[in-house]
Structure 1
């Protein structure tokens, strides 16, 4: 069954956005926002324009958001390996980095024996990050399977939400963790904001999140936005730090906390960018951020991950059976650079949601 709902214009929520972004109270900018549930995907639109698809097709190891477009229509995340040979794309590394996703590289189900362990050094659990396979093609990774998609709901005009249910499975198919993932879509004056409300539920067994850099809420930006090449993009953090091209992957911001990190540059002739937001209610993330285009907020890595901010910290995040962990992350696809798109102001809106 296909279900489409439309949030009418007049801006969401006008009084909050106007105050946050310095606009007049009667300012209107939002077109109709829509969410349509199709087999294997949820399609998000502004008017008739497809902004993003949230892919739930079980052929993939986990759900992801692709494509993701700025208001001008330019893509801000990499298409490969979902789409190959796109104009302006040259990289074919890290097959698991599909646009926008959430998972972790070492999830330990206490009391459940595992035949296949994560390939991460020192890991004791299931790898939901790397999508590694044996030489014969046997998967060594876990799968996050979307088992239910709810009806889209209009929260307010210009703000739509869809609730989904996921099961986290071992390589052998044993369920170890349940997840409620709610995707919110909001149209903003300079960009499109997706908010992911993630509730991890230890219904089956106690769960420990292992100490690895490979996690957790990640995006792979469009090749044109990576600062690893001359003429590439610029990275900007909430603390005002910037990385300009050409840059090497040993970034000074790697493994440190930040409220948000933004990549911006030109895709074709369009100035665009994309930011990831870490909500202050989350366990603080260290950022697994690379010049080649990975931008991931990781709340689980500790000393062994190598994150400088976690030096000397070894206590892992643990969920007793029956306990749940709530997380909130945002992705803001925008026109212009971080300043022009008012990323800092939009983060304040996100923070207050």
Structure 2
């Protein structure tokens, strides 16, 4: 009797999409580099949800999905999903069977403590409204049923510019979700920039973020649920046969990496590569030297995080907003260490610190 496992089904489906993309090249279509970039704005179901499809020619590079707390489209963080290599292989995942708050390329923080309040607010997970009668049998030090609700990162403005790349400019309000409020109090004002382009076997996504208090100063408390990260396609994570490696030549690094030296030295980049069908593909995450601090967190189920607050608090005030940057590179084939170093050096040469002043 023929049996098709979940992994084989997904792998064959993804490979089929990618094979169709590659076949179009063999027919004599224009190479990826010669096709024009475009942004397709889709608002579905009378405004219940929205996404921006980020295209080169007729191919996906990625899509920006807007957050909403409407029940049938529920997501509290915006995300870039899917993220595809130039040949069309989707290398990220979202809402997987473990940890539904891991959403492809994402940004968030699990412990935002505003001055004058008695508790931190979660802007990373999808915690429900408090239920004092439910017991959390999986945690001894806290009860997830009593820590919510998680806030929402609302996109209040989005515009874009298309040249030899796609540039997205977003303004977001990180808002509370109180039962009595239709909107919720704003806690953080964020300016976020994405720059996307393809070059050779790479889809390159550079993200630049500035977080400022909406009114009261705040502290981003040390927490591993922070700040920029990516959940890789379940088919290529180390638990399913893929491999992570980093700039320090470690294989399948697992846990926190934030030291200056030693076994837990913070890398400059970390990559995850595996096979989808007959094709090898992956995605890498790069830090920037101008960041306040670069701390990495990675796990075998396919999570890679870059943050200034994994092990340290960060104070955020009007006079001193938090600026942070990361590069994501989706790639066809394996990513050699030397090539990753070159991509890292290229990104490090970008001085983003005055970007938000010049783009106001």
TM-score (norm 2): 0.73
What residue is the counterpart of 2:23 in the other structure? none
**What is residue 149 of structure 1 aligned with on the other side?**
158
Give the match for residue 162 of structure 1.
168
Q: How far does residue 256 in structure 1 lie from its aligned partner after superposition? A: 4.5
Q: Deviation of residue 341 (structure 1)? A: 9.4
Shift of 1:178: 0.1
Paired with 2:79 and 2:281, the residues of 1 have a C-alpha distance of 21
Question: 1:127: how far off?
Answer: 0.8
Aligned: 1:96 with 2:107: no
Q: Secondary structure at the match of 2:127?
A: coil
Give the corresponding residue for 1:132. 127
Determine the structure 2 residue equivalent to 1:261: 270
Q: Which consecutive residues of structure 1, in runs of 5 or more, have no partner in the other structure?
A: 1-27, 82-90, 118-124, 303-313
Residue 337 of structure 1 and its aligned partner are, at CA, apart by 1.1
User: How far 1:322 sits from its partner (Å)?
Assistant: 4.4
Q: Shift of residue 203 of structure 1? A: 3.6
Equivalent runs, 1:173-252 vs 2, <5 Å? 173-229=184-240, 232-243=241-252
Deviations 1:105-148 (A, max 9, x none): 1111112x35xx4xxxxxxx111122122458995211111111
Tell me the distance in 1 between the aligned counterparts of 2:158 and 2:36. Answer: 22
Taking only aligned residues, the RMSD between alpha carbons, in angstroms, comes to 2.6
Q: Is the 8 A contact 2:158 2:171 kept in 1?
A: yes
Q: Give the paired residue count.
A: 286
| Aligned residue runs from structure 1 range 235-314, under 5 A | 235-243=244-252, 256-302=265-311
Out of 316-325 and 253-262, give the one that drifted further: 253-262
Aligned partner (choices 30, 34, 53) of residue 38 of structure 2 = 34
* DSSP 3-state at the match of 2:122: coil
The alpha carbon displacement at 1:202 in A equals 1.8
Per the alignment, do residues 342 and 300 of structure 1 end up closer, same or farther by CA in structure 2, a change over 3 Å counting? same
Match of 1:52 in 2: 62
Q: What CA deviation, in whole Å up to 9, does each residue of 1:253-299 have, x standing for no partner?
A: 99642211110011121110101111111122221100111101121
Larger relative contact order (C-alpha < 8 A, sep ≥ 6)?
1
* Alpha-carbon spacing, 1:69–1:126, altered in 2? closer, same or farther (3 Å): same
Residues 340/260 of structure 1: CA separation in 2 closer, same or farther (3 Å cut): closer
Q: Name the CA distance, whole Å, in 1 between partners of 2:269 and 2:34.
A: 24
Deviation at 1:211, TM superposition (A): 1.2
Aligned counterpart for 1:68 among listed residues 46, 59, 83 = 83
* Corresponding position of 1:348: 345
Which structure's residues are more often helix, by fraction?
Answer: 2
